Amino acid sequence: MTRGTTNPNRLRKVDRWLAGPQAFRLRGGARPPVVVDLGYGASPVTAVELHRRLRRVAGDVEVVGLEIDPERVRVARPHEREGLRFAVGGFEVPLPGGAHARVVRAFNVLRQYDEAEVAGAWERLAARLDPEGIAVDGTCDELGRRATWVCLDRRGPVTLTLAMSLRHLETPSDLAERLPKALIHHNVPGEAIHAFLADLDGAWARAAPAASFGRRQRFLSAVADATARWPIAREPRRWRQGELTVAWSAVAP
């Protein structure tokens, strides 16, 4: 069982990503898409917020909050409503009738496991996805100002996303302490993730002249610089929000 601590709005950055560039996954299909908030913690607030945000882009989405602690599920049940329910479960992602999930969001969960357990957990999550589904293994700070997550499909990890509050950003490598479990111990010289963060810091330093137009412009300039050397998704609208996505193959251990 995880520590279970959480705060309202803590997962807003990943929710914004799911409701933004990933919203296409929630539309269409013969059945309503199922989205799982795995390990939502002692309070159901993250699942309630996820349900509200995703229903704005897909009115038939069904959100299921899963916890391995029956007491946490009991506490959450009064918050159930149309399209939102809570149940006991873990990485096996139990859904009625053996249904598969369109999205499984597991935030601040695997961070509390040993790194050796990550690959197995990823495989179990991938097996519970439908053909268009993704799993999101992420970590964020207590206030949601810094967040990172790995996106997986049924074949394995695809991308790494870094999301930060530009207002509170000193250097991009500030996110190192919030890397997912699969990467956090590899932020050392000689590893790809260390090289990536160091290069982002260098680009941020070179973009200092743009700071006179604000941190957003400086960040846009820095990310544009880094795209010359890294397979970063060319999504300037996401960059403006302090978010960038890079191919997993470029930063994997």
136-149 confidence digits (pLDDT tens): 999 999 999 999 99
Looking at the fold, whether 128 and 232 belong to one and the same domain comes out as no
Looking at the fold, whether 139 and 206 belong to one and the same domain comes out as no
Domain around 39:
12-154
SS3 (DSSP) at 88: strand
Whether residue 123 is predicted with pLDDT greater than 70 in this model: the reply is yes
Taking the CA atoms of residue 80, residue 40, residue 61 and residue 239 in that order, the dihedral angle to the nearest 10 degrees is 140
- Asked, for residue 2, whether it belongs to a domain, the answer is no
End of a domain among 114, 132, 154?
A: 154
Looking at the fold, whether 92 and 57 belong to one and the same domain comes out as yes
pLDDT (tens digit per residue) in 22-36: 999 999 777 899 999
pLDDT (tens digit per residue) in 207-245: 999 999 999 999 999 999 999 999 999 999 999 999 999
Listed in sequence order, the residues at least 6 apart from 51 whose beta carbon sits closer than 8 Å to its beta carbon are: 61, 63, 81, 83, 84
- Asked, for residue 35, whether it belongs to a domain, the answer is yes
Domain count, the chain: 2
Q: How far apart are CA 29 and CA 189, in angstroms?
A: 46
Strand-pairing partners, residue 220, are: none
Amino acid, single-letter form, for residue 230:
W
